[in-house]
Structure 1
Amino acid sequence: MSMAEATAKSPAKRDTFDSRLVFLMAAIGSAVGLGNIWRFPYVAYENGGGAFLIPYLVALLTAGIPILWFDFTIGHRWRASAPLAFRRLSGNGEVIGWFKVGVSFFIAVYYAAIVAWAAIYTVKAFTKAWGDDPETHLFNDFLQMDGTSTFSGNYVLPILFMMIGVWLFSIVVLALDVNSGIGKLTVVFVPVLVVLFTVLVVRSLFLEGSTEGLNAFFTPNWEALKDSSVWIAAYGQIFFSLSVGFGIMITYASYLKPRTNLANTGLVTAFANSSFEVLAGIGVFATLGYMAHAAGVGVDEVATSGIGLAFVAFPTIINNMPFGEVFGVLFFLTLFLAGVTSLISIMEVVFSAINDKLGWGRAKTAIIIGSIMGILSTVLFASTSGLVALDIMDKWTNNLGIVFCAVVALVTVGWITGRRNEVTQHLNAVSSVRVGGLYQLCAFIATPLILIYFLYEEVSTLLTEGYGDYATSQLGIYGWAVVAFIIVNAVVWTFIPFKNQTVLTGVPGSDYGVPSKGRPKGEPNPLAQATATESTPASERI
């Protein structure tokens, strides 16, 4: 074979982040999302207040960080999107990656709607356009909610146009290489997000009644620690807030340089995310304390989470707050920034997988797949029945889809293929913090068992009690049918051949990782290459 022929058949060199800082900003931008701001404070408050920080820290150390390291290692060791990485790990493992892609696909299509709402409310905050009754404005005027229809077919034009703008912006960012697109976006947006939110929290601490809110948030209920549901809630919060389990960190880690300190990078990402969550708890409950004080009621009567906190409680607070417009703009702008960086990371899971499979290139993949996702997103979630579809799809993809993906991946790598030692060895080969039996116990035994229990409880509850007051047809289409589609679609994609078959095992001299089992004779061992001390300056391994 001539040199030209060999080059033509070689896979294109994979994009690489310019520095660990760029990767850190991307990883933190993905982990710090809407859930940090509107989910964690209420979960902590409902599950023991200050005492919740104990199971939360335990969950972070025994599940969050080990799974984050696992995802980092899979992406870095096999240097590919989730489907191709698992295909390289095991010939039958590709379907696991496509499960993750399917979950990311559906999360992205509804997540874009919330990002669009945050953008619109940032503008509304300048004039407090939601009026004196934010709840009526949200559901009747803004969303024009139709809770009875499975699909109304009626559209809210401001939401439609803003969602189109969000999708166009995201597609443009992802059409560029990882440094020009994801890198530059997150290096700017993440620091701005942190600064703005810090200003917001500091302002909230000077509100009258803020101490009442902080007391409600931090006062420990030690009896709660005896309740197993509190511990499950802690593991659930850690799991969902770190962006682990559904391909994001695998994909991002595949763009890292060969000698990147994975363990330290994971620790920085995890603790940055958790620090932001605690900061969000302080800001949210200081503000709710002000609301309770002004209304002459207890904090428990105004505490809420999710959409109700962001788009009802906070506008109510802003209406009664001195210089509320400024506070409102800051709050909704931080929601938008947190949302858009997370959305970009979720979309990248899908785009990277399609690009690896079909070999289209980033721009073509972003335009074609992004357009398909954008059309589906706006059709479903810019309609008056959009909130119904969003709420149900969020419940099923998060509580069932992500957990299922994580369990299957951990059990497959840990026990079915028996590659847990190889994962551990690679993590140790490129990291200053070394792990061993305790890490394997947490990642491949304890965490899967906890998640299996969590999954069993969720499925049982959904089958026996349903969800909310939604009709069976609504739950069937936006819940169970979505999960079924993800599973079937994952199997179908495994039968589509990779356009460039050499990406399955890599070629000598390329930067593609290859499983040690079955590697062609004479081909270099990427794990051995990773341990070479002369490969990268110490500054790259910090």
Structure 2
Amino acid sequence: MGKEKGESSSEATSIDAREDREQWGGQIEFLLSCIGYCVGLGNVWRFPYLAYRNGGGAFLIPYLIMLVLCGIPLFMMELSLGQFSGLGTITAWRASPIFKGIGFGMVGVSFLVCIYYNVIIAYSLFYLFASFQAKLPWTETCREWNTNATCAASLVNKTVENITSTIATTMAMQSTTASPNATNTTEALKIKTVSPSEEYWKYRVLRVDKSTGIDDPGYVLWDLCLCLLLAWIIVFICLAKGVKSSGKVVYFTATFPYVILIILFIRGILLDGAIDGIRFYIIPKWELLGNSAVWKDAATQIFYSLGVAFGGLLTFASYNKFNNNLFRDTMIVSIGNCATSVFAGFVIFSVIGNMAKINGVDIEDVADEGPGLAFVAYPQAVSLLPIPQLWSALFFFMLFTLGLDSQFAMVETVVTGLVDEFPKFFRNRKTHLMLAVSIVAFLLGILLVTEGGIYWFNLYEWYSAYFGLLILSLFMCLAVNWGYGYAFTTKWRFNHDIKLMLGFQPFWYFKIAWMFVTPAMITFIILYSGIFYTPITFGDYKYPKWAENLGLCMSFSVCATVPLYMVGRMIVALIQGQSIRSLFNPSPRWGPSDTSVPYDPKTGGQPDVPIYSITNGESEKTATYEQYVTDDIPDAYSKL
């Protein structure tokens, strides 16, 4: 079949993008995979430290607002596009080929995030292996990684109670009132120090004291590097067998974390000082709502946690059956994801309150406001449980499984996007492509497991899902709803496509959000964050200007693919004598994944005559009469 007018060469090679495409073994596998993808380290690792950095309760308000106005609508939109087309993140933009740069941007942001995301999994493996020791190493106070102050404090604190008791007894025997002096003496004996778990994280795991900053990476930490290698080997093995194999894995990985979190929550709220941490978490500091960083962090956390604009949702939905009830899946996953984040916050802030009580410091001063907060507070929590080695191993195995689910989706997004877009090159070489992606990402991740690697890790974490992701989601929202769904083809076409799948159009909430509220809110966040831009920091360390500029380039590179592809595609069209207008219209190969559904790429389907209807949660195909007429049918009346 020759190349049709209006198509690029890559589109022409994507003829077989849907052929022999795998599907989920059942609806529950897709739902659990989405839960595993969205409910991940972003909930139990990233959300708590962002809430801690932004004043606890003050962060919850913009977080919930962004969920309703942006998170849920974009989640539904991305699932709908993927399920309807049955194509990957790049090829799905046959809907409006001029916007195919959005697909390349999704692949780019997923690749950048999966580089440092697997480093978090490596940290989890490191702690998992360390859990099999006679005594948990992060509970020790006089090991080589502990500071002199901590070691001295542990020795002094053992005798503080005895000394205090002696002083109190002596003073009671005196006739003069000397209780203030006793109090002062007691306070003088207390040594303020950081927790052993924080020192273990900083000086044993990261060895951050060996580096002066981002421009001093130092030596490779080979124990962490081997954990990173193991993490990539596991990801590759699980994904190499295909989506059905990873779908079976999520039955365990998507449900097991909730058991551990519930146990830690029950233990956490019983700790002394837990109520202080929870109060810090739920009571907002209203003045912080005027800080642009709070709103920026809330928006990016919604995108990060739900996986919106990363392409993972689109990829997962492309393996769905055409009539899967994605509205139900949207509400279950998005609301469940938010609830998990809030619940994880209660777990970690109850422990932070206890740590503040033990160390005699304010909640804000318990630990550094950085990505390592979870690796300080959670180890402290499990060390307080009976048989701490067992619970520590179970907890960090939970972190490991949480990370795997999300990592599966991001790597699958990169691989599926390239396979669907270039099937002639990669259709029969998917495993080789996945191996190549894993090797390249591992090599790039080695910089993050050096003595100064945490500074690079923080740079990746800060900028890879920042301005670029917000701008990319804005492009996606405008292209799908105002471009494909209104201006360039028939009006409300995207809503009609959804009706072909579900038997009903999206509710008014989605229509208004897609067209007006969501793009306006994203635009506001982008402009507000740009005007009141806050440079990257790591604790008290301020990044040099070149590192900040490098991070901004990283962030904007994922959205720069959109205008660059537009310009390049227009130039090619002009050289080939094609109409620029045709680039905005759906490709002749655009259509539903179910090829039995009547559909015209130019005008769409017949929304008033639904092919599918949903009754009691089950999808049934509407009975229709079809008569196929071809020239090969003999004349039935020839013998009369």
Place the TM-score, normalised by the shorter chain, in its bin.
0.7 to 0.9
The CA RMSD measured in Å over matched residues stands at 3.7
Residue identity opposite 1:240 in structure 2: Y
Once the two structures are TM-superposed, the CA of residue 509 in structure 1 deviates from its matched residue by: 10
Q: Of 395, 414, 437, which residue of structure 1 is paired with 2:462?
A: 395
CA-CA distance at 1:461 after TM superposition: 4.9
2:183 match: none
Deviation, structure 1 residue 113? 0.7
Identity within the alignment, %: 26
- CA, structure 1 residues 38+152, in 2 after alignment: closer, same or farther (shift >3 Å)? closer
Aligned to 2:516: 445
Contact 2:324 2:502 in 1 (8 A): yes
- Structure 2: 5+ residue stretches without partners: 2-13, 142-195, 573-585, 621-640
Aligned match of 1:217: 281
Tell me which structure has the larger Cα radius of gyration. Answer: 2
Cα gap change, 1:92/1:348 in structure 2, threshold over 3 Å: closer, same or farther? Answer: same
**Corresponding letter in the other structure for 1:285:** F
Query: C-alpha distance in 2, partners of 1:514/1:78?
Result: 12
Residue 375 in structure 1 maps to residue 443 in structure 2: yes
Out of 102-111 and 508-517, give the one that drifted further: 508-517
- Are 2:545 and 1:472 equivalent residues in the alignment? yes
Partner of 2:228: 163
1:533 partnered with 2:604: no
TM-score normalized with structure 2 length: 0.72
The correspondence for 2:43, drawn from 10, 31, 36, is 36
Pairing partner for 1:386 from 445, 449, 453:
453
2:344 to 250, 274, 280: 280
Q: How does 1:199-278 map to 2 (within 5 A)?
A: 199-219=263-283, 234-278=298-342
Q: Is the 8 A contact 1:22 1:187 kept in 2?
A: yes
3-state SS of paired residue (1:445):
helix
Secondary structure (helix, strand or coil) at the match of 1:154 reads coil
Give the equivalent residue in structure 1 for 2:577: none
Matches within 5 A, 1:67-82: 67-82=74-89
Report how far residue 460 of structure 1 moved: 4.4
The match for 1:24 among 31, 42, 47 is 31
The one of 407, 418, 434 aligned to 1:366:
434
Partner of 2:207: 144
**Residue of structure 1 aligned with 2:129, choices 123, 131, 135:** 123
Deviation of the 1:528 alpha carbon: 6.3
**2:464 aligns to what SS in structure 1?**
helix
One-letter code aligned to 2:20: K
Deviation at 1:118, TM superposition (A): 1.0
Q: How far apart are 1:397 and its partner, in Å?
A: 1.3
SS state at 2:371 partner? helix
Q: Aligned pairs, how many? A: 521
CA distance in 2, matches of 1:52, 1:508: 42
| Aligned equivalent of 1:99, options 95, 98, 105 | 105
Post-superposition CA distance 1:359-380 (Å, at most 9, x none): 22332321222222222223x2
1:297-316 equivalence runs, <5 A: 297-302=361-366, 306-316=370-380
Question: What is the CA deviation profile of residues 74-95 of structure 1, one whole-angstrom value per residue up to 9, with x for unaligned ones?
Answer: 1112221111111x11121211
Structure 2 CA distance for aligned equivalents of residues 74 and 24 of structure 1: 17
Q: CA deviation at 1:394?
A: 1.7
- Give the Cα–Cα distance (whole angstroms) in 2 for the partners of residues 515 and 422 of structure 1: 15
The runs of 5 or more residues in structure 1 that have no matched partner are 2-7, 498-502
Is the Cα–Cα contact under 8 Å of residues 98 and 490 in structure 1 kept in the other structure? no
Give the deviation of 1:178 after TM superposition: 0.8
Distance 1:222 1:211 in 2: 20
Distance 1:150 1:492, change over 3 A: farther
Query: Are the structure 2 counterparts of residues 349 and 422 from structure 1 closer, same or farther at C-alpha, using a change threshold of 3 Å?
Result: same
- Hey, what's the Cα distance between the residues in 1 that align with 2:597 and 2:478? 21
- Relative to structure 1, the CA distance from residue 538 to residue 347 in structure 2 (aligned partners, 3 Å threshold; closer, same or farther) is same
Q: d(CA) in 2 for partners of 1:163 and 1:434? A: 45
Alpha carbons 1:83, 1:97 under 8 Å: kept: yes
- CA offset digits 1:37-88 (Å, max 9, x no partner): 13334545666756765554443222211110011111112221111111x1
Equivalent residues of 1:251, 1:352 under 8 A apart: yes
Give 2:235's aligned amino acid: S
Q: Distance in 1 between matches of 2:381 and 2:613?
A: 58
Residue of structure 2 equivalent to 1:114: 120
Q: 1:285 to 1:338 in 2, by over 3 A?
A: same
> What does the per-residue CA deviation read over 1:433-482, in whole Å, with 9 as the maximum and x for residues that have no partner?
753443232123222222223223444455x8465511223334454256
The normalised TM-score by structure 1 is 0.84
Query: 1:13·1:510 contact (CA, 8 Å) conserved in 2?
Result: no
SS of residue in 2 equivalent to 1:122: helix
Q: Deviations over 1:112-141 (max 9, x none)?
A: 111101111122234322433333433333
Q: Residues 407 and 448 of structure 1 are in contact (CA less than 8 Å); yes or no, is this contact kept in structure 2? A: yes
